[in-house]
Structure 1
Amino acid sequence: MVVIINEVRDTGAFVAYDVVKGVDNREYPPPLVEEIQRAVDEARSSLSLDTLKDHPVIRAYRDFYWRVVKIDPTKQRPAQEALLRRVLRGEALPRISPVVDAGNAASIKFLVPIGLYDLAKVKGEVLRLRWSKRGEVFYPIGGSPVELDSQIVLAADGQILHLYPYRDSVETKIERDTRDVLVVVAGVPGVELSRLIDAALYLRKLFSLLGGVAEGEVQIA
């Protein structure tokens, strides 16, 4: 059983997390395609590109970027905001894989960033949400290795899975043969815990369409 220990509560960062086992990440069942399109349609009917940045949930993540992450959110947008902007411009969600696409659908539905990790690649069952140590190296998906200095990370034993709350590691990337998935929904001050839990439960529903079965209850850290 995976356990996440939160060592950065003073920043306001918190997570809901879940483990779903036995997914089939090779084929898109029609009900999943329909659920993803439904999330897109809901976003387009309820949100506006012009006012998205002022939505209270999006604003909470932008404020966290400025205050804690020290990143300009107009240059490095929160992951869910970037996806929503794409959708609200009339573009489709990226087609990557059934598991990743389900995660993106949950992200735009609940306006929260969601990290998905191949559990078989995670080193150990105890993970920590903590400040990085000087000299630690992060290997991002789609980018060059980054030497870290005082950034919030989700880490296992000698392994950085995630830069909080916006970038995942290639080391634990979801791939075609992934079967067991660790789900991490990232929260910040001003975002209700219930929103994170609802996102995780919705993702359970989508993963069940891929044959996935949740292990235990959604956990909080």
Structure 2
Amino acid sequence: MQPINVYWCSEAASKFPQLAISIGTINGVVVERENAKIKELKGALYAEVRAQHNVEGLKENSVVRAYRDFYWRLGIDPTKIRPSGEALLRRVLHGGELPTISTAVDAYNLASMKTIIPISGFDRDTLHPPFNVRFAENGEPFTGIGMEKPMALTRNMLVLADSRKVLCIYPHRDADQTKITL
């Protein structure tokens, strides 16, 4: 399998010079609805993050602060649309649990919750590299996971795209057509 190259448009690279993404490929994964190991891991990580964090103090966390500052620079209010890592952590800190989607998705959601760093996962068979980090075109269509119909993107939205489509609105919404399924 060929490596996936990522290119940055000059506007995104100059506006966010410290921003970086990491791409990895995991092969041979057996995706199940759920299993005992993931259930056990969820319980352990819920207890861990509840012991380490509280909702009131999250805004002072350096990772949360960095992503919120980044959102403000994008023109997004991070108290209304939260970075995915923070949103997952908040759900658990409020006494909830993460949804059970599949073992693969649950695993990277747990990693995102623990690190408070947004993580996306894509079905490799739906991708058309190379990837580009760029700003959306005004009106560019995007259907996120769980959305009934496409939304029109705006120019201030930073996206990760392949050669055919937007893969995610960075860093909070993944595309429905590239999601990992059973």
TM-score (norm: length of structure 1):
0.74
Q: 2:85 aligns with which of 80, 89, 107?
A: 80
> Shift in Å at residue 135 of structure 1?
3.2
- Percent of pairs with identical residues: 38
Q: 1:35 aligns with which of 34, 37, 41?
A: 41
Query: Contact conserved, 1:32 with 1:102, CA < 8 A, in 2?
Result: yes
Residue aligned with 1:100, SS? helix
Per the alignment, residue 213 of structure 1 pairs with none
Instruction: Give the Cα–Cα distance (whole angstroms) in 2 for the partners of residues 106 and 59 of structure 1.
Output: 19
Q: Which amino acid aligns with 1:149?
A: T
Pairwise mapping of residues 22-171 of structure 1 onto structure 2 (< 5 A)?
22-68=28-74, 70-122=75-127, 124-143=128-147, 144-150=149-155, 151-171=157-177
Instruction: Give the Cα–Cα distance (whole angstroms) in 2 for the partners of residues 77 and 136 of structure 1.
Output: 22
Residue aligned with 1:81, SS? helix
Q: Which amino acid aligns with 2:177?
A: E
Instruction: Give the Cα–Cα distance (whole angstroms) in 2 for the partners of residues 77 and 32 of structure 1.
Output: 25
Q: Which amino acid aligns with 2:43?
A: Q
Instruction: Give the Cα–Cα distance (whole angstroms) in 2 for the partners of residues 162 and 172 of structure 1.
Output: 9
Per the alignment, residue 8 of structure 2 pairs with 6
What is the RMSD of the two structures over their aligned residues, measured on CA atoms? 1.5
> Shift in Å at residue 27 of structure 1?
4.8
Indicate the larger mover: 153-162 or 10-19.
10-19
Q: Which amino acid aligns with 1:63?
A: D
Instruction: Give the Cα–Cα distance (whole angstroms) in 1 for the partners of residues 33 and 81 of structure 2.
Output: 32
Instruction: Give the Cα–Cα distance (whole angstroms) in 2 for the partners of residues 19 and 40 of structure 1.
Output: 27
Q: Return 5+ residue gaps in structure 1 as ranges.
A: 177-221
1:173 correspondence with 2:175: no
> Shift in Å at residue 65 of structure 1?
0.9
Residue aligned with 2:63, SS? helix
TM-score (norm: length of structure 2):
0.89
Q: Return 5+ residue gaps in structure 2 as ranges.
A: none
Listed one character per residue, the Cα deviations across residues 137-181 of structure 1 (whole Å, up to 9, x for unaligned) are: 1111122311223121111112110011111101101111xxxxx
Query: Contact conserved, 1:6 with 1:14, CA < 8 A, in 2?
Result: no
Indicate the larger mover: 18-27 or 167-176.
18-27
Instruction: Give the Cα–Cα distance (whole angstroms) in 1 for the partners of residues 55 and 139 of structure 2.
Output: 39
> Shift in Å at residue 47 of structure 1?
0.5
Alignment length (residue pairs): 174
Indicate the larger mover: 161-170 or 22-31.
22-31
Query: Contact conserved, 1:131 with 1:152, CA < 8 A, in 2?
Result: yes
Residue aligned with 1:153, SS? strand
Listed one character per residue, the Cα deviations across residues 3-22 of structure 1 (whole Å, up to 9, x for unaligned) are: 22222222323201110012
